[in-house]
Chains A and B, each alone.
Chain A
Amino acid sequence: MLKIEGLKASVEGKEVLRGIDLEVPAGEVHAIMGPNGSGKSTLGYVLAGREGYEVTAGSVTFRGQDLLAMEPEERAAAGLFLAFQYPVELPGVGNANFLRQALNAVRRARGEPELDAMQFLKLVRGKVKALGMTEEMLKRAVNVGFSGGEKKRNEILQMAILEPAFCILDETDSGLDIDALKIVAEGVNALRSPERGMLVITHYQRLLDHIVPDRVHVLVGGRIVQSGGPELARELEAKGYGELQAAA
């Protein structure tokens, strides 16, 4: 579903990704673990198409398309979704309107009919409840005045509404207490399906107790230095990244 080959990328002239090879088939959840500054978030941003991240080598194929040639909105329309580590506040933009505009933009791109406000509300209500959110949060401006946990839930809500084919979760566990973490993980697990792929980026193993990955990759110094099954996450938790960092 997602195939990354020899990907190198720089930020402000500094090479952050130094040759990444990774393939995530449909139906699988892969985790990327690594210490701070290893390039985890950069990988997420490069895949989502953020400006300022210059790809210097390699390719990314997503559902048979050249992902790197696409605009951010085209990537979203093709089914890619990045749950941000730091969701952006949008003062003056109502959350419900934002969610509906995003959904309708994606539906338009898919050739599906747009939803009006009533249809949308019907769709969103159940999902809001499942994530332990309130409808009042739909009336507020996007992420403005939201707690850290509310922001992360709002990301998962967007994911649940847009139903992307591929989800990238960037440090979705950071800033969450254990109850919030469980709710968010349940929201993510509910989206697991044979047709959907996921890439879970995290520093800690904690999240992976709740979202159990099929594969774990360790990113150090812009390269994947080790890959393995879910047990690798526990090993890292016990040993830390020190050894791997020294080797890289």
Chain B
Amino acid sequence: MVEVLDAPAAAGSDAVAHLLDRARGLAERLPGARHPVVAAWRARGAETFASQGFPTRRVEAWKYTDLALLRETRFEEPILAADIRPPLDLEEEEGPLLVLIDGRVRRDLSAVSHLAPGVAIASLADLLRARDEETVAGLGGLAPETLPLPALNAALAEDGAVVRIADGVDGGTIRILSYATARAGHPVAFHPRHLIRLGRGARLVLVEEARGEPEAFAWQNVVSEIQLGPGARLIHIRLQDEPLSAVHTATLAVRVEQGAEYDSFTLIKGARLTRNEVHAVLAGPHAALHLNGAQLVDGVRHADTTTVIEHAAPDCASRQTVKTVLAGRARGVFQGKIHVHRAAQKTDGYQMNQALLLSPEAEIDAKPQLEIYADDVKCSHGATVGELDLEALFYLRSRGIPEAEAKSILVQAFLDDAVSLVADEGLRERLHAETLAWWQRVEHGG
């Protein structure tokens, strides 16, 4: 999809020039620099970003989210800090784990040896240095690189996770942890590029977490390209809990082939500014897509979920339930577009977005959009914005439940019909615990 810009307003600004300088300076040093295809890909990204700059609110897709914070900051490259260990219990769970610190894969912290046959997990940087042709061919195949942020990612992508599951293989659960570190007074930016590919009939549960040190002023501009072969099934859980000083812009492109299923849940509760953009294509008949999630936004945070679902083939189903809870002076955005192509007869589309405002100063902008060009489709969508139900609150309190606990029960209940869509009990419980922890933060004014 191509966004129309009415003016490249930010092009030429200091921050844009600074980032382009970086791209030029690093061009010779980034992994795969000497591979002509990779070099051309990066050059195209830089060119696109140079001509468009940061999107402004005059661009329709960015009407509700302002990137002034990015335009006004001079981000540096992350330093190589081999001694940094995230203060997380990495051995907590079994199974393969890939750890990225400031956007770079850290083999010493990861657990990617002893993989089952047909399961491959690697560092993008390693594969590009090794001139792995399959990796090179996959770069930018799905991501909308006519858009400035994915284009900038192409120009500056240094590393990322490459996961491949061979035909018919069940890859179990793979975790990816992206951790941002602090450098007082030195904002850093990194641009991970993840390539995930499931072969015909393959299975995988992918759990991605983004966290960071409390003071880390980091901008993570991540792009994920996910390709699901016929009959494949990916359960994708994303949790973003970065510190208040962080900026998180994510672009996820997923292509779901015939009979395949992409089942995702994204929980956003961190960062000062989050843009979670998803471009999904149902490319073959009987493909299924679940784009569920919750945005928990407190204080001065801003969270934006923008999704574009392309029904390009007949007999496909897409389901989307997104819940946003806003406290303090938080801002939330949901933009959900479903585009049913002429060929996509018998499309079954469902979209629900609901917001709960806990404070009179919080705001949500919600924009559902249906574009239907086929004539035999079933598409429904709904949107609600509300406050806590005072009658329900009184009912709980009249049973002896203190006000704070009663509110927590009602917030959890609001989130329940999204979180309950996560079929795996363990994952569901973890997400539930994360939402409870968020509520603790709100209650204690943190």
A residues sitting closer than 8 Å to B (CB atoms) are 48-51, 71-73, 75-77, 81-82, 84, 87-88, 90-93, 98, 101-102, 105-106, 109, 141, 158, 162
A156 to chain B, nearest CB (A): 13
Stretch binding the partner chain, chosen from B40-48, B290-298, B376-384, B405-413? B405-413
Main SS class of interface, B: helix
8 Å CB contact of A105 from B390, B401, B417: B401
- The answer to whether A77 and B400 touch (CB under 8 A), given A84-B395, A90-B392, A90-B395, is yes
Asked if B373 is at the interface (CB within 8 A of a chain A CB), the reply is no
Q: Are B412 and A92 in contact (CB under 8 A)?
A: yes
- The answer to whether A105 and B405 touch (CB under 8 A), given A72-B394, A92-B413, A92-B414, is yes
Q: Are B400 and A49 in contact (CB under 8 A)?
A: no
The contact sample of 18 A-B pairs, CB cut-off 8 A, is A49-B397, A50-B394, A51-B394, A71-B403, A73-B400, A73-B402, A76-B398, A76-B400, A77-B400, A88-B392, A88-B394, A92-B416, A93-B412, A101-B409, A102-B396, A105-B402, A105-B405, A162-B400
B405 to chain A, nearest CB (A): 7
B431 to chain A, nearest CB (A): 14
Q: Inside 8 A of A141's CB, which chain B residues have their CB?
A: 413
Q: Inside 8 A of A88's CB, which chain B residues have their CB?
A: 391-392, 394-395
Q: Are B397 and A92 in contact (CB under 8 A)?
A: no
Asked if B399 is at the interface (CB within 8 A of a chain A CB), the reply is yes
Q: Inside 8 A of B390's CB, which chain A residues have their CB?
A: 51
B22 to chain A, nearest CB (A): 47
Known contacts A71-B397, A158-B399; can you find 10 more A-B pairs with CB under 8 A? Answer: A75-B398, A76-B400, A88-B391, A88-B395, A92-B414, A98-B399, A101-B409, A105-B401, A105-B402, A105-B405
A71 to chain B, nearest CB (A): 7
Interface size in chain B (residues, C-beta < 8 A): 23
8 Å CB contact of A48 from B398, B413, B415: B398
B325 to chain A, nearest CB (A): 13
Q: Are B403 and A105 in contact (CB under 8 A)?
A: no
Q: Inside 8 A of B417's CB, which chain A residues have their CB?
A: 91-92
Q: Are A106 and B400 in contact (CB under 8 A)?
A: yes
In angstroms, Cα B405 to Cα A109, docked, is 14
A25 to chain B, nearest CB (A): 23
- The answer to whether A102 and B413 touch (CB under 8 A), given A51-B390, A88-B391, A90-B392, is no
Q: Are A102 and B414 in contact (CB under 8 A)?
A: no
Closest A residue, CB atoms, query B416: A92
Q: Are B395 and A102 in contact (CB under 8 A)?
A: no
Q: Are A72 and B398 in contact (CB under 8 A)?
A: yes
Q: Are A73 and B413 in contact (CB under 8 A)?
A: no
Among B390, B391, B414, find the residue whose CB has the most chain A CB atoms closer than 10 A. Answer: B391
Closest B residue, CB atoms, query A109: B400
In angstroms, Cα B403 to Cα A106, docked, is 13
Q: Inside 8 A of A90's CB, which chain B residues have their CB?
A: 392, 395-396, 409-410, 413
8 Å CB contact of B405 from A71, A84, A101: A101
Q: Inside 8 A of B399's CB, which chain A residues have their CB?
A: 76, 98, 102, 105-106, 158, 162
Q: Inside 8 A of B416's CB, which chain A residues have their CB?
A: 91-92
